[in-house]
Chain A
């Protein structure tokens, strides 16, 4: 029995500590977003955040996730309150089949947590780990740019609000 901290909530998980996180998220915790794409760490469909870093949950044994913060797409916001990156993907209609999108959003989220003003080249280099087969790439890039803009203006607004309170 070990404790995993997923989207800010502790969860008790039993079973083999070598189990890849993906199977525990989907099977034990009922979280759908992270997808099985290849199980080989080649496509990024299973991307989640581990302490703000993008990791491939299909090859992440739960043993190494103990005492660390796991964030999945569900942790960024739900249907009624999507987070900025999710809103940007909706605004750009950045999906066809959408199977890769959860991984795309998580990878983008990791970039924006580290750098809210990435260059186009930085975005492309960062996203290149993840595969899309429908060819939605141009919209995904537009969504990441839009999300960066939203994150920056949210930060500016927050700074202004703090200024006003003083």
Chain B
């Protein structure tokens, strides 16, 4: 693989002057052969890319660190930088940091699932530690001094006699072209300079001063602007389009049509917007009803053909007799990612190759999908990640990259920038799936849960590319690619069944996942996947059981919780919240919830207090207190920011959000037909308390607050009004209906 377009590197575009770096190791050890080898148990993503110089380069120009993960607004770049600088023994400012780029960085698949710390930070950490040892060994050899006597500071190695050399002076051409070792000598927690301490995010100064920071801000010389005209509904067919008038509009360079993929390219951006409007007006579509009746959507979910997976069936005790049995059914609608900036991409076709600048989550999978769509060899396509607006899962980013690629191929040589309009983003992004869950459990005489039976009905939670068939624009081509049938994500992480298995210890537990393959509305990964709904359901139901058992909800959880770290976050959240059994003022309620994300990642407990207006059912959020254990914390402020943001975003989902549609179209087209939380509706306070576990593995935090927040709100509403609402979102109308007159 070579850089397709050496004149147009991302850094040149973004105004920093460094030269192009090509990752040689990747040329020599393609991913397929790495995977085919009997893998040594290497830490994190080193398993997939075991050569050190896939991750690090040290030369006279300085230190470059590579990650296959992408900055999505979660602050991962800063945390990875901290880890690399810690283990290398340098300052963060000494490192040039390169994120996902198929021409430069290792293949780490998708940046998703709160996996980046486990995968990439672990790999970088071990690689950096090993590189540091190699550099020290080189110095020891050069000076004839035992390695233990050498000291490292800010990338310079010093001998006891005062001789010193920088890393750049010591590094040789192939020093890092070696296999990673299974265990490197990591810095002891007590010696940390950087890990566990807040480091200001490296990307924020540019973002608050208007420096170019996003793919939307790319402006390569000769760039032109494109807009697409989408069908008005999923099943719409283009009957006819007369583009002659549009082609004559000022600035219009080209109208691109391939089947019913329609786009227009213009010199200036506003010209492209005007031309798009005109082209939409000039196109005639036949629409058909293809969607379920929105009023009966949960019936559709329950009745759709589903494949049943018994994902957990543990019988350790007698079924309860004579106790009470409770059952409850919960509902969650389709919900949007709704990034503030609509999807965007820049692409340029040159020679026989194509470069795409994208804010997608996986540059390598995207490259494979684009290559398939364009019938190119993957090595002719380069995908470079550039930040976009916030990413909370599989949104329109990959599709926008496909748009840009298709249009760029029709206009060779010119960099083409495509940006979606707001209604296109709302209507065409893949949603978080509608879900139904049913929980049934029995309590014995002592108030202990004996039998727990839980079922979840859900569509897929990942339809990522994959192949070209998961790129939406490819559906509209004259020779279309069909969307492949989705597969469920298997346990232990799960998709629709993510966090469906309770962490609580019950005598008998049975959990069933009913996977619905048919997707009338486009769905894919939204932050937390099924965990949002499953944790809402489980933790709501635990509250219902606690109430039935006459127990305090926190005490009731602890009664069934054996995992010590889980108990610690529950106790910390309760303590910091000031949890008590005392009655609150009329109309006020408090709620509690907990989950260990995926049962594999961060432990997060959330306590909420709110007020419900009796006459209107309006909820006023008062405060949230969260406790979190994300293993060893690299950047505590980064973890806090993720939990705080997760709480507010989940509150928005939980109180307000549902995709509206009719039997033909998605009718959530903007921020009035899909309202989200605004400043006026925020809680008074959000406090996050962290438990640091130095020396323990990193546990991903990015999605861990979504489920607990939803359930804490639901439980607090039930506490406030004495009635439970099991259908999301908790709109004033539903709350008022539950309250009664």
Physical contact A–B (CB less than 8 Å): yes
Q: Which residues of B contact A138 (CB under 8 A)?
A: 644, 648, 682-683, 685-686
Q: Across the two chains, which residue of chain B brings its CB closest to A103?
A: B340
Which A residues touch B389, using CB under 8 A? 35, 37, 97, 99, 133
Contact A78–B676 (Cβ < 8 Å): no
Chain B residue contacts of A125, Cβ below 8 A: 679-680
CB nearest neighbor in B for A79: B209
> B727 → chain A, closest Cβ, in Å?
23
* Residue ID in chain B nearest A77 by CB atoms: B209
CA distance A133 to B74 in the complex (A): 12
Say if the beta carbon of B387 comes within 8 Å of chain A.
yes
Known: A15-B268, A131-B340. A99 touches B208 (CB 8 A): no
Q: Mark B641-671 against chain A: 1 for CB-CB distance below 8 A, else 0.
A: 1101111111110000000000000000011
A159 at the interface (CB under 8 A from B): no
Q: Let me know if A96 and B682 touch, CB within 8 A.
A: no
A67 to B390, CA, bound (A): 36
Q: How far is the CB of A133 from chain B (nearest CB, A)?
A: 5
Q: B316-341, CB under 8 A of A: which get 1 and which 0?
A: 00000000000000000000001111
Q: Is the CB of A78 within 8 A of B209?
A: yes
Of all chain A residues, the one with the shortest Cβ separation from B421 is A39
**A137 in contact with B682 given A95-B208, A99-B390 (CB within 8 Å):** yes
Instruction: Determine whether the beta carbon of A36 is less than 8 Å from that of B341.
Output: yes
Decide if B649 touches A133 in the complex (CB within 8 Å). Answer: yes
With A30-B219, A82-B209, A86-B208 as contacts: A124 and B419 at CB distance below 8 Å:
no
B169, CB-defined interface residue at 8 Å: no
Shortest distance between the CB of A137 and any CB in chain B (Å): 5
- In the assembled complex, the CB of B441 is this many whole angstroms from the nearest CB of chain A, namely 32
For the complex, count residues of B whose C-beta is within 8 A of A. 64
**Secondary structure type dominating chain A contacts:** loop
Report the minimal beta-carbon distance from B336 to chain A, rounded to whole angstroms. Answer: 10
CB distance from B648 to the nearest CB of A (A): 3
Shortest beta-carbon distance from B338 to chain A in Å = 6
Chain B residues with CB below 8 A from A105, complex form: 208
Chain B contacts for A60, CB-based, 8 A: none
Contact A131 B212 (CB under 8 A): no
- The chain A residue sitting closest to B268, CB to CB, is A27
Write out the residue numbers on chain B whose beta carbons fall within 8 Å of the beta carbon of A30.
Answer: 219
Judging by beta carbons under 8 Å apart, are B679 and A124 in contact?
A: yes
Output the least CB separation between A126 and chain B (Å): 8
On whether the beta carbons of B422 and A131 are closer than 8 Å, the reply is no
Mark out the residues of chain A between 124 and 147 whose CB falls within 8 Å of any chain B CB in the assembled complex: 124-125, 127-128, 130-139, 141
Expressed in whole angstroms, the Cα–Cα distance for A92 and B632 within the complex equals 23
| Chain A residues numbered 12-63 whose CB sits less than 8 Å from any CB in chain B | 15-16, 19-20, 23, 26-27, 30-33, 35-40, 42-43, 45
B422 and A38 contacting across the interface, CB-CB below 8 Å: yes
- Given the complex, which residues of A lie within 8 Å of B39, measured CB to CB? none
B268 near A74: Cβ-Cβ < 8 Å: no
Query: Provided the pairs A98-B203, A124-B682 are in contact, do residues A36 and B419 lie with their beta carbons within 8 angstroms?
Result: yes
Q: Cα distance A43–B672 when bound, in Å?
A: 10
Q: Which single member of B207, B419, B650, B682 contacts A98 (CB below 8 Å)?
A: B207
Contact A96 B210 (CB under 8 A): no
| B389: nearest chain-A partner, CB-CB | A99
Does B544 reach chain A (CB closer than 8 Å)? Answer: no
Q: Does B206 contact A (CB under 8 A)?
A: yes
1/0 contact string of B199-220 vs chain A (CB within 8 Å): 0110111111111111011010
- Contact indicator per residue, chain B 342-377, by CB within 8 Å of chain A (1) or not (0): 100000000000000000000000000000000000
Min CB–CB distance B227 → chain A (angstroms): 11
Chain B residues whose C-beta falls within 8 Å of the C-beta of A134 in the assembled complex: 73, 390, 645, 649
Q: Does B641 lie within 8 Å of A139, measured CB to CB?
A: yes
Q: Give the residue name and chain of the B residue nearest to A99 (CB).
A: B389
| B210 contacts A31, C-beta separation under 8 Å | yes
Cα A132 to Cα B681 with chains together (Å): 13
In chain A, what residue has the closest Cβ to B683? Answer: A138
- Known interface pairs A20-B270, A97-B387; A37-B422 also in contact (CB < 8 Å): yes
Main secondary structure, interface of B, reads loop
Chain A contact residue count (CB 8 A cutoff): 57
Q: What is the CB-to-nearest-CB distance from A29 to chain B, in angstroms, rounded to a whole number?
A: 11
Q: How far is the CA of A101 from the CA of B421 in the complex (A)?
A: 20
Bound-complex Cα distance A95 to B216 (A): 17
CB <8 Å contact, B340 and A135: no
User: Chain A residues with Cβ under 8 A from B342's Cβ?
Assistant: 36-38
Contact B672 A42 (CB under 8 A): yes
Known A131-B671, A133-B339: A98·B204 in contact at CB below 8 Å: yes
B340 touches A37 (CB 8 A): yes
Contact B340 A26 (CB under 8 A): no
Q: How far is the CB of A142 from chain B (nearest CB, A)?
A: 10
Which residues of the partner chain B approach A139 to less than 8 Å between Cβ atoms?
641, 644
Interface residues as binary, B367-411 with A (CB distance below 8 Å gives 1, 0 otherwise) = 000000000000000000001111110000000000000000000
Q: Are B213 and A98 in contact (CB under 8 A)?
A: yes
**Structural contact, A97 and B670, CB atoms closer than 8 A:** no
Contacting residues, chain B, for A45 (C-beta < 8 A): 340-341
Contacts of B150-206 to chain A: CB distance below 8 A: 198, 200-201, 203-206
B413-472 at interface with A (beta carbon < 8 Å): 419, 421-422
Q: How far is the CB of B620 from chain A (nearest CB, A)?
A: 12
Residues from chain A with Cβ under 8 Å of B649 in the complex? 133-135
The CA-CA distance from A136 to B642 in the complex, in Å, is: 9
What chain B residues lie within 8 Å of A15 (beta carbons)? 268
User: Which residues from 262 to 279 on chain B have a C-beta closer than 8 Å to any C-beta of chain A?
Assistant: 268-270, 273
A155 within 8 A of B: no
A102 sits at the interface (CB 8 A) = yes
Asked if B200 and A90 sit within 8 Å, CB to CB, the answer is: yes
Check if A93 sits within 8 Å of B390, measured CB to CB: no
Measured CB to CB, the closest approach of chain B to A107, in angstroms, equals 10
Give Cα distance in the complex from A136 to B74, angstroms: 11
Q: Tell me the bound Cα distance from A20 to B271 in angstroms.
A: 11
User: CB-CB < 8 A to B390: which residues of A?
Assistant: 96-97, 99, 133-134
Q: Which residue of B198, B206, B652, B679 is within 8 Å of A127 (Cβ)?
A: B679
Chain A: CB-nearest residue to B645: A135
B210 engages A97 (CB within 8 Å): no
Task: Check B208 against A39 for contact (C-beta < 8 Å).
Answer: no
Known: A37-B422, A99-B339. A32 touches B211 (CB 8 A): yes
A88: nearest residue on chain B (CB-CB)? B208
Within 8 Å by CB of A133, from B198, B340, B644, B683, lies: B340
Q: How far is the CA of A42 from the CA of B340 in the complex (A)?
A: 10
Q: Is there an interface contact between A40 and B671, defined as CB atoms closer than 8 Å?
A: yes
Interface positions of B from 227 to 283, Cβ below 8 Å from A = 268-270, 273
Once the chains bind, are A128 and B678 in contact (CB under 8 Å)?
Answer: yes
For the complex, is B75 an interface residue (Cβ under 8 Å from A)?
Answer: yes
**In the complex, residue of chain B having the shortest beta-carbon distance to the beta carbon of A124:** B679
Asked if residues A82 and B205 are in contact (CB atoms below 8 Å), the reply is yes
User: In the assembly, what is the distance between CA of A140 and CA of B649, in Å?
Assistant: 14
B268 and A43 contacting across the interface, CB-CB below 8 Å:
no
Q: Which residues of A contact B212 (CB under 8 A)?
A: 32
* Chain A hits for B338, CB < 8 A: 133
B637 CB contact (under 8 Å) in A93, A133, A136: A93
Q: Is the CB of A128 within 8 A of B340?
A: no
CA distance A123 to B434 in the complex (A): 36
Interface set of B (CB-CB < 8 Å, partner A)? 72-75, 198, 200-201, 203-214, 216-217, 219, 268-270, 273, 338-342, 387-392, 419, 421-422, 637, 641-642, 644-652, 670-672, 676-680, 682-683, 685-686
Interface residues of chain A, those whose CB is within 8 Å of chain B, are 15-16, 19-20, 23, 26-27, 30-33, 35-40, 42-43, 45, 72-74, 76-79, 82, 86, 89-90, 93, 95-102, 105, 123-125, 127-128, 130-139, 141
What are the 4 tightest A-B residue pairs by CB atom distance, in nearest-first order?
Answer: A97-B73, A33-B210, A135-B648, A97-B390
What are 20 A-B pairs with beta-carbon distances under 8 A?
A27-B270, A37-B342, A37-B389, A37-B422, A38-B422, A77-B209, A78-B210, A79-B206, A93-B200, A93-B204, A93-B641, A97-B388, A128-B680, A131-B340, A133-B339, A133-B340, A133-B389, A133-B676, A134-B390, A137-B682
Known interface pairs A133-B340, A137-B677; 5 further A-B residue pairs with C-beta atoms within 8 A, sorted by A's residue number = A15-B268, A74-B210, A98-B208, A124-B680, A133-B339
